[in-house]
Amino acid sequence: MPNPAERGYRRIATEEAWTTPEIMQRYQQMLERGDHGDPGFASLWGFFATSQTPRARDLYERVQDLEARRLADMDATGIDMQLLMLTAPGVQMFDPDTACALAASTNDQLAETVRRHPSRFAGLAAVAPQAPQAAAAELERAVTRLGLKGVVINSHVNGEYLDDEKFWDIFAAAEALDVPVYIHPNTPSPQMIEPFLSRCLDAAIYGFAAETGLHVLRLIVAGVFDRFPRLKMVLGHLGEGLPYWLYRVDFMHGGIVRANRSPGVKPLQRAPSEYLRENFHYTTSGMCWEPAITYVQQLMGHDRVMYAMDYPYQFVKEEVDAMDALPLTPAQKHAFFQGNAERVFKL
Ligand code: 1DF
Ligand code: MN
């Protein structure tokens, strides 16, 4: 396999999952008690934590490894660097005090791993959005003291969305620190999950995108990016379907504003699509598909689309080869695999 110098770029994978045995034990306890109030959590982690299928057991081991196995997997697939983030739903399920303590200790562990392997790993901070002021403070600590590169939020927080102004200290901190907020999927919130469940559509197959795309539209329509114009966001899975919707969202949003149709919709400074073009970046996690990648590159610009694998959930060597074969110029390919990630995450 060619090395980065022969290839002309380092492959940086920008949505790579990890977690700790402690968090996995706490998930198991919550599942056994059944007191978490989130059917999506039970569906997703009930499967990974207990299923005896080879895929579930394998994922459960891989996601908890931050050393030998992960590095060997990266070597076997030609991944030079992983941008690590605590796997969904992170600490968002826990009571605020537990969540804050776990966010801090996992950020410490992640920073320690990055210190041991600075050319192989970088990381995003975990925070507890259910304690917004503490989350903002932990983000600042993680960036300024630990060298983490931004923050991951796994969509809804116990059924709440970050368009509620009580969460906006987190956005203020990210903007002031000039680090990105990665809105990673979660299963649909308890309010909307029911029709997904009986056909097993709640997770990565589709529910993640429905949930996360909705969350991002709520942020835009609420005016988050008028309040925080320099806020940088990252979305996985090629934008959770939103790139396909730009025209219609702009058209309909204009009509809703002109009709003064809802107290929840105020005029924005710009069309919704402009925020998606200028505040957001997109990764290809799980979407190894040339027509869709080419479309998002054309729409958003080659400087806004980055490679991601979504290890260990979509750990497929052939997908890496297919990404290498994308019809891109050398400069575009360098941006896709390396340059954009280095700029957006300041690697
Ligand atoms: C899955 C996919 C699980 C993704 C994830 O975290 C995840 C999955 C629990 O396949 O069930 O992050 N993903 O981002 O597509
Ligand atoms: Mn993911």
Catalytic annotation on 310? yes
User: Ligand 1 mean position to 170 CA, how many Å?
Assistant: 24
Distance CA 80, CA 5 (A): 11
Amino acid at 2: P
pLDDT at 1: 66
Instruction: Calculate how far, in angstroms, residue 204's C-alpha sits from the geometric centre of ligand 1.
Output: 6
Mean pLDDT of 291-295: 98
Does 8 reside within a domain? no
4 or 126: which leads in pLDDT: 126
Q: Which of 303, 310, 321, 324 is catalytic?
A: 310
> How far apart are the two ends of the chain, measured CA to CA in Å?
24
Ligand nearest to the CA of 88: 1
Q: Is the pLDDT reported for residue 154 higher than 70?
A: yes
Q: What is the pLDDT of residues 169-197, one digit of tens each?
A: 999 999 999 999 999 999 999 999 999 99
Is 1 a domain residue?
no
Task: Check residue 5 and give its pLDDT.
Answer: 87
pLDDT of 2 strictly over 80:
no
pTM: 0.98
* Beta carbons within 8 Å of 279's beta carbon, 6+ residues apart: 225, 229, 231, 232, 233
Tokens of 146: 């630990």
Helix H segments across the chain? Answer: 4-7, 21-33, 39-50, 54-62, 68-77, 96-116, 132-144, 168-177, 194-197, 207-221, 224-227, 237-240, 246-258, 272-278, 290-300, 317-324, 330-334, 340-344
**Considering the domain boundaries, does residue 141 fall inside one?**
yes
Measure 66 CA to ligand 1 centroid, in angstroms. Answer: 17
Domain that holds residue 63: 13-345
Q: Are 78 and 8 in contact (CB under 8 A)?
A: no
Whether 7 is covered by a domain: the verdict is no
Kindly state whether residue 264 falls inside one of the protein's structural domains. Answer: yes
Mean pLDDT for the chain overall = 97
If pLDDT is split at 50, 70 and 90, which confidence band does 3 have?
confident
pLDDT at 40 over 80: yes
What confidence score (pLDDT) does residue 204 get? Answer: 98
- CATH code where residue 265 lies: 3.20.20.140
> How many angstroms does the Cα of residue 311 sit away from the middle of ligand 2?
8
Atom of ligand 1 nearest to the CA of 89: 9
2 lies in some domain: no
Say if 3 falls within a structural domain. Answer: no
Mean pLDDT of the 246-254 span: 98
> Who lines ligand 1 at CB under 6 A?
17, 44, 87-88, 185, 203-204, 208, 236, 285-286, 310, 313
CB atoms within 10 A of CB 71: 16
Contact 185, 88 (CB under 8 A): yes
d(CA 224, CA 57): 40
Residue 325 lies in a domain: yes
Q: How many domains does the chain have?
A: 1
Q: Are 191 and 159 in contact (CB under 8 A)?
A: yes
Pick the residue whose CA is nearest to atom 6 on ligand 1: 88
The residue whose CB lies within 8 Å of the most ligand 1 atoms, and thus the one to mutate among 208, 311, 316, is 208
